[in-house]
Amino acid sequence: MIPQRPLDWTATLGEPVAELSWSPDGQWLAVGGVEGRVVLYEAATGKPVRDWQAHAGGLFRCAFAPSTGLLATSGQDGHVRLWNTVSGEAEKALPMGAAWVEHLAWSSDGQWLAAAAGRNLRLWQPSTGLVHEAPPAKTTWSGLAWHHSRPEIAVARFGGVDIWSAPTARLTTSLPWKTSLISVAWSPDGRWIVAGTQELSVQIWQLPFRPESELAMSGYAAKVRQLAWHPSSRYLATGGGIEIMVWDCAGKGPEGTSPRILTGHLAKVTALTYQKAGHLLASGGEEGRVLLWNAGKSSDALRQYQLGASITAVAWDARDTRLAIGTHTGEVALGKSVTG
Per-residue pLDDT tens over the stretch 81-128: 999 998 888 899 999 988 899 999 999 999 999 999 999 999 999 878
Torsion on CA atoms 249, 251, 254, 256, rounded to nearest 10: -170
**In the chain, what is the straight-line distance between the N-terminal and C-terminal CA atoms, in Å?**
20
Mean pLDDT of the 208-237 span: 94
214: confidence class by pLDDT, cuts 50, 70, 90? confident
How far is residue 71's CA from residue 129's CA, in Å, rounded to a whole number? 15
Buried/exposed 167-188: b ≥16 CB within 10 Å, e otherwise: eeeeeebebebeebbebbbbbb
What residues form DSSP beta bridges with 30?
A: 21, 40
Supply the pTM of this predicted model. 0.96
Identify residue 154 by its one-letter amino acid code. Answer: A
How far is residue 303's CA from residue 295's CA, in Å, rounded to a whole number? 13
- Asked if the model's pLDDT at residue 54 lies above 60, the reply is yes
Confidence at residue 89, expressed as pLDDT on a 0 to 100 scale: 86
Buried/exposed 125-138: b ≥16 CB within 10 Å, e otherwise: bbeeeeebebeebe
Handedness of CA 37, 96, 24, 182 (dihedral sign): positive
Query: Helix, strand or coil for residue 20?
Result: strand
Q: How many CB atoms lie within 10 A of CB 302?
A: 17
Confidence at residue 129, expressed as pLDDT on a 0 to 100 scale: 81
Find all residues with CB under 8 Å of 45, minimum gap 6, and list them.
9
| Mean pLDDT for all residues in the chain | 94
Q: Contact 79/99 with Cβ under 8 angstroms?
A: no
**Radius of gyration of the chain measured on its C-alpha atoms:** 19
Q: Contact 334/324 with Cβ under 8 angstroms?
A: yes
- Asked if the model's pLDDT at residue 338 lies above 70, the reply is no
80: confidence class by pLDDT, cuts 50, 70, 90? very high
How far is residue 194's CA from residue 187's CA, in Å, rounded to a whole number? 8
12: confidence class by pLDDT, cuts 50, 70, 90? very high
How far is residue 174's CA from residue 164's CA, in Å, rounded to a whole number? 9
Find all residues with CB under 8 Å of 235, minimum gap 6, and list them.
229, 246, 247, 248, 249, 274, 295, 296
How far is residue 116's CA from residue 176's CA, in Å, rounded to a whole number? 20
Confidence at residue 69, expressed as pLDDT on a 0 to 100 scale: 84
* Strands of the 289-293 sheet, one edge to the other: 269-274, 281-285, 289-293, 303-306
List pLDDT tens digits, range 244-263. Answer: 999 999 998 998 899 999 99
Query: Helix, strand or coil for residue 327?
Result: strand
List pLDDT tens digits, range 126-178. Answer: 878 888 999 999 899 999 999 999 999 999 999 999 999 999 889 999 999 98
Q: How many CB atoms lie within 10 A of CB 296?
A: 14
Confidence at residue 339, expressed as pLDDT on a 0 to 100 scale: 56
- Asked if the model's pLDDT at residue 337 lies above 80, the reply is no
